[in-house]
Structure 1
Amino acid sequence: MSTKKTVLITGAGSGFGKHAAIGMAKNGHNIIATAHVSSQVTPLREEVEALGLSNQITVQRLDLTDPYDIKQALTWEFDVLWNNAGMGEAGPVWEIPIDIVRKNYEVNVFLPLTLTQGVVQQWVRAGKKGKVVFTSSMGGLFTPANWGTYVSTKHALEAFAEAMQQELAPYGIKIQTINPGAYYTGYNETMADNPFRWLDDKVNFTKRADLRKGFDDFFATPEGKMDPTEMINRMVEIVPADEGKFRNVVPKVIEDMLKDHQLKAWENTI
């Protein structure tokens, strides 16, 4: 159950963030839906108006790489910060250019942490009891080959979230993670295209055709192309809720798989 909340969502221009924003608004919550790309703002405002939700969804640009955007966001009033924005880099960790790894950490870890620090420090000063939600991933809890860069950023978010849950509990500030499986939103599919902008058969040991086949084989499985409706419906419930689990893996079959993987990790040998 949840009382009426005002929720700030990063990365609400598309995918999970956009559809969950609409779902939460329909449930009576007020939403500040932010988009990283300016060109997404007006179309989202028009869609919100067409749905008759203009009184409950405010659409703003929030480019986390822009310190002035972050400064402006810190003037907004809200009860829940949902760090949903992110990007992903795939490909073999032993060959991926380090500057690409560094950028993925900047977008997925350092920038959300910058915003979160600003928000929670204001809440502590004001005595406000809010909540921070991080969109992690099933990949925040295990590491498949050729996805290591992206999922390592989610491992980092898991660590930050777990630490903050303990650190901020005395102030009444709650922390949660949401860990989606490989739902078919276009996010994972686009991420799988990224290594082909640098992978070179004349230079790299990993061959383009082999990597592409591995990705295509995964996306051809039921686990690699799940209907996102289930995840969106759960996000609509989880994000504004007053109570709930710290970690929220969806669907249940992926939660069971991850628990099994983590148990087997203790017996893993070289």
Structure 2
Amino acid sequence: MPRTILITGAGSGLGEGTAIGLAKKGHTVIATAESWPQVTALRDRAAAEGIPNLSVTKLNLLDPYDIAAAAKLDFDVLVSNAGIGEAGPIAEIPIPILKHNFEVNVFALLDLTQRVVRRWVKNKVKGKVVFTSSILGVVSPGMLASYSATKHALQAIAEAMQDELKEFGIQVQTINPGPFFTGFNERMVEAAYRWLDDDVNFTTRASYKAQTNALLDKPEMRLNPEDMIGKMVELIPKTTGPFRNIFPKDTADWAMAAGKAIWDRTI
């Protein structure tokens, strides 16, 4: 059954591919992007590929006017996909940077979701909220805790929200991508070098590079994003399915093993 879907963070990466994929499947898609250049680029792509059921508008989650305008649009599926990543040692990361990561990935996202859900309840719309979380919403490797903490918070919000909205017929689901090679993880790691200083921090830049390379610089941490896009296109419109969706299976197995290891961890 065709649905009307608003997806945030569609200016690049998984969001862009998913917006295009959903529209090609016959759904009406409102793709939102953070900046006007991204909006123009996606509009041009939709026109070039002949996708009339894909509209594109600007949505910067930190712009109150963008949020207010987006919340008034008519759709029955909200895909909260936009987010930013900050990395670095959590024992040293500047607090303003950590706060900004939470502002975008948690507070602004929740602001939009609350506005949409409030309207759905009032109008008796049996909608669906899909949160793009991450494998880092269930595990927290060293040097990635800032981003991981925002996704852990998002998991908690989604779990509680699912319980709270059942009586109104509104569904809630999370999609937890593994390490797909969109460039997001690499940019997140690189961002720490703008503040990490060997004259100030006890974590050296060399140590940080060695630890992040050990985590990310391997083929299994650079998966083909087209596989994840296909999975998101499959999951988002459905009215049945798992609440949490960690993909691919190897990543889900890693998460389960990591969770067990935490129970057995000692100090």
**Which residue is equivalent to 1:161?**
158
Q: Name structure 1 gaps, 5 residues minimum.
A: none
2:62 to 60, 65, 73: 65
- How much has 1:4 moved relative to structure 2? 0.4
- What amino acid is aligned across from residue 157 of structure 2 in structure 1? F
Deviates more, 1:86-95 or 1:256-265: 256-265
Indicate the residue corresponding to 2:112 in structure 1.
115
Q: Could you say which residue in structure 2 is the equivalent of 1:39?
A: 37
Unaligned runs of at least 5 residues, structure 2: none
Q: CA deviation at 1:128?
A: 0.6
Matched residue, 2:47: 49
* 1:39-94, Cα deviation, whole Å (9 max, x unpaired): 111111011000000x2100000111111111111221001000000001100000
Shift of 1:210: 1.6
Cα deviation code 1:227-266 (max 9, x no counterpart): 1111110000011111111000000011011112212222
The answer to which of 104-113 and 207-216 deviates more is 207-216
Question: How many equivalent residue pairs?
Answer: 267
Give the aligned CA root-mean-square deviation in angstroms.
0.8
Corresponding position of 1:237: 234
Q: What is the CA–CA distance in structure 1 between the aligned matches of 2:9 and 2:194, rounded to whole Å?
A: 24
Instruction: Give the letter for the 1:58 counterpart.
Output: S
Partner of 1:88: 85
Q: Give, in whole Å, the separation in 1 of the partners of 2:208 and 2:264.
A: 28
1:32 maps to amino acid: I
- Partner secondary structure for residue 121 of structure 1: helix
Give the deviation of 1:217 after TM superposition.
2.9
1:266: which partner in 2? 263
1:246 correspondence with 2:223: no
Superposed displacement of residue 110, structure 1: 0.1
**Within 1, Cα distance between the matches of 2:28 and 2:184?**
26
- Which of residues 95, 102, 107 in structure 2 aligns to 1:105? 102
Q: Specify the code of the residue in structure 2 equivalent to 1:261.
A: A
3-state DSSP of counterpart to 2:82:
coil
In structure 2, C-alpha distance between the alignment counterparts of 1:176 and 1:83, rounded to whole Å: 11
Matched to 2:14, the amino acid is F
- Cα distance between partner residues in 2 of 1:46 and 1:195: 33
How far does the alpha carbon of each residue in 1:161-197 deviate from its partner, in whole angstroms, 9 at most, with x for none? Answer: 0000000000000000010111100000100101100
Name which of structure 1's ranges 259-268 and 171-180 shifts more when overlaid on structure 2. 259-268
Q: Hey, what does 1:215 align to over in structure 2?
A: 212
Comparing 138-147 with 208-217, greater Cα deviation is found at 208-217
- Return the letter of the residue paired with 2:100: K
Partner AA of 1:8 in structure 2: L
For the residue of structure 2 that corresponds to 1:72, the secondary structure is helix
| 2:44 maps to 1:8 | no
**How many percent of aligned residue pairs carry the same amino acid?**
51
SS at match of 2:264: coil
Secondary structure of 1:266's counterpart equals helix
Q: Within the alignment, does 1:78 sit opposite 2:75 as a pair?
A: yes
Equivalent residue of 2:86, what SS? coil
Q: For residue 134 of structure 2, what is the amino acid of its counterpart?
A: S
Question: What TM-score, normalized by structure 1, do the two folds share?
Answer: 0.97
The one-letter code of the counterpart of 1:188 is N
1:122 counterpart SS class: helix
Aligned partner of 1:28 in structure 2 is 26
Distance 1:203 1:89 in 2: 19
SS of aligned partner of 1:95: coil
